Amino acid sequence: MKKSLWTFGTREVVFAAIGAALYGVLSYATNLLQIPGAGNVSLRPAVAIPMFFGVAFGPIVGFLSGAIGNILSDLLSGYGFWPWWDLGNGLMALVPGLIYLSIKDFRSWGDLLKAEGMVVLGVALGMGVASLSEIWVSGIDLATAISLNFVPAFITNVINGLILVPILMVAYSAIVARSGR
Amino acid sequence: MLVSFSYRPRHSFIERFDPRARWIMSLALLFSIVLFWDIRILSFFFVLSILQVFLARLTWQETRRAWLFILVLSTMMILVNTIITGGGTIGGVISGGKPLLQFQLKIPVTGWIIHYVLTRERVWFALAQFLRIISIGSLFLVIPFTMDPRKYGVTFRGIGLPDKLAFTMDLAFRFIPTLARDFQITLDAQRARGYEVEKIEGNLFTRIRRMAPLFVPVTMNAILAGEDITNAMDLRCFGLKKRTWVESLKYQEIDYLMIGISILILVGSLLLRFVFHTGDFWFPM
């Protein structure tokens, strides 16, 4: 069957739900385990999950995994709803999903590097949109939005994505080989 | 690992409303709040938001974490923005103004001199900003504690989201306990092999990389299960017809009243802002 970038069928519904639930549970679990970060940078490695789901299942799955996953993570932790950050998390995973159709081999250096590049772009766009929304919502200036919101979120998310997305891609290649999808 | 939602039935006044009506109210108030910088108008929204918290019967103990998160975040933003960088925002703080505090600071070695002035206007703007952030934060803080997670799917469907999107949300909620159990099993299995998650050492990169033994098995197991779930749903012709939901929602008179008032507030705010040009930054002279 020919793949399409913007299909939203049963498969996409299921994997978007799984991606979102994984993102929510793993964020909550790593919070609970109190994994030490460096200085005041907290570790939230689960952000790599929606990015990987974007690469593996397409941009819609990536977007929904990121957006709904962030809602779930905030719900589990009791932080309330922050819709513009949910949107940012969705965009962060949608961008890597744009290369979904061009991935031929999840183990090849070329495809891994492509995914890495899209992770950086995705985090820049997603966290950029969420941070700039704070200007509109909280009335902060651009300098504050960049220094206080964008830079910490961008650095931690990009590091998490760059390290964990390729690891997940290589692991997923075994499933692809087995299932023939 | 026990994963539980913050929701429990409290039989509060807020829970009497239909979740759809509550979402419509929250979004209408959000879009109204962000229109204003006038502290008098913001105070009205602040009172409404705080009233909702009280009507939800939430205790400090259960919401402490969320409040601390909102307070720390807002305080940091306000300190950096209004007090340090000067608050030149879309709120339009008047430049200059009456100084409340001023001093000069000479930085050793570089010899740079910082001339700091804190004006009355900046302080009032900081207060307006604080009211705005707290109003928005408390407006949405109530939702996880007072809205039944089983009803999110049908609620978003009721608001107008497509069936598949609403079902994705519903399904995600259903997967949480299973995935939390899988995570705990994986964690225990890895610990039995000598993996010590609490003692992960090394630099930031090493610490993240060492999360892989937990993340990879849980994710790959979930994907394999997902293939079976997709097949099962396809066999049951998922998505071919309009979906029905186990939970059903029905608007009551009280919900129509809430929606009506919310729309009235939003329309009133839009009129105030764009027709009467009221609501810019204001402070008592």
pLDDT in tens, B136-184: 989 988 988 999 888 889 999 999 999 999 999 999 999 999 999 999 9
CB pairs under 8 A between A and B: 217
* B203 or A154, greater pLDDT: A154
Q: Please state the domain count of chain B.
A: 2
Check CB contact of A132 with chain B, cutoff 8 Å.
no
Q: Are residues B182 and B271 in the same domain?
A: no
- Within a domain: residue B6? no
Q: Are residues B207 and B259 in the same domain?
A: no
How is residue B258 written in tokens? 């809430």
Q: Are residues B162 and B91 in the same domain?
A: no
* B207 or B56, greater pLDDT: B56
Q: Quick one: pLDDT at residue A180?
A: 65
Q: Quick one: pLDDT at residue B90?
A: 46
Strand B99-106 to B113-119 pairing = antiparallel
The Cα-based distances of B224 to A12, B142, B148, B206 in angstroms read 14, 36, 29, 28
Q: Quick one: pLDDT at residue B1?
A: 65
Range of the domain at B155: 150-249
Q: Do B69 and A79 touch (CB under 8 A)?
A: yes
Are A37 and A21 within 8 A, CB to CB?
no
Q: Do B233 and A14 touch (CB under 8 A)?
A: yes
- Mean of pLDDT over chain A: 89
- Within a domain: residue B93? yes
Q: Do A29 and B80 touch (CB under 8 A)?
A: no
Could you tell me the domains of chain A? 10-179 (1.10.1760.20)
Please name the member of A68, A136, A172 whose beta carbon is closest to the beta carbon of B169: A68
- Confidence check: pLDDT of A53 > 50: yes
How is residue B187 written in tokens? 């964690």
Q: Do A140 and B223 touch (CB under 8 A)?
A: no
Q: Are residues B243 and B276 in the same domain?
A: no
- Within a domain: residue B12? no
d(CA A175, CA B75): 47
- Residues in CB range of A160: below 8 A, 6 or more apart: A43, A44, A45, A46, A47, A48, B208
Q: How far is A154 from chain B (nearest CA, A)?
A: 15
Please name the member of A21, A80, A168 whose beta carbon is closest to the beta carbon of B172: A21
| Nearest in space to B74 (alpha carbons), one of B143, B144, B137 | B137
* A134 or B56, greater pLDDT: B56
Q: Do A159 and B86 touch (CB under 8 A)?
A: no
- Within a domain: residue B188? yes
- Confidence check: pLDDT of A39 > 50: no
Confidence of residue A10 (pLDDT cuts 50, 70, 90): very high
ipTM confidence score? 0.93
Please state which of the ranges A16-25, B42-51, B90-99, B171-180 shows the lowest mean pLDDT. Answer: B90-99
Q: Quick one: pLDDT at residue B91?
A: 44
Q: Do B66 and A41 touch (CB under 8 A)?
A: no
Q: Are residues B123 and B28 in the same domain?
A: yes
Pick left, alpha or beta for residue B258 (phi over 0 → left; psi -120 to 50 → alpha; otherwise beta). Answer: alpha
d(CA B145, CA B42): 25
Per residue in A95-127, pLDDT tens?
A: 999 999 999 999 999 999 999 999 999 999 999
Question: Amino acid identity of B61?
Answer: Q
Q: Are residues B103 and B142 in the same domain?
A: yes
Confidence of residue A67 (pLDDT cuts 50, 70, 90): very high
Please state which of the ranges A30-44, A59-73, B28-42, B154-168 shows the lowest mean pLDDT. Answer: A30-44
Q: Quick one: pLDDT at residue A38?
A: 42
Please name the member of B149, B171, B220 whose beta carbon is closest to the beta carbon of A172: B220
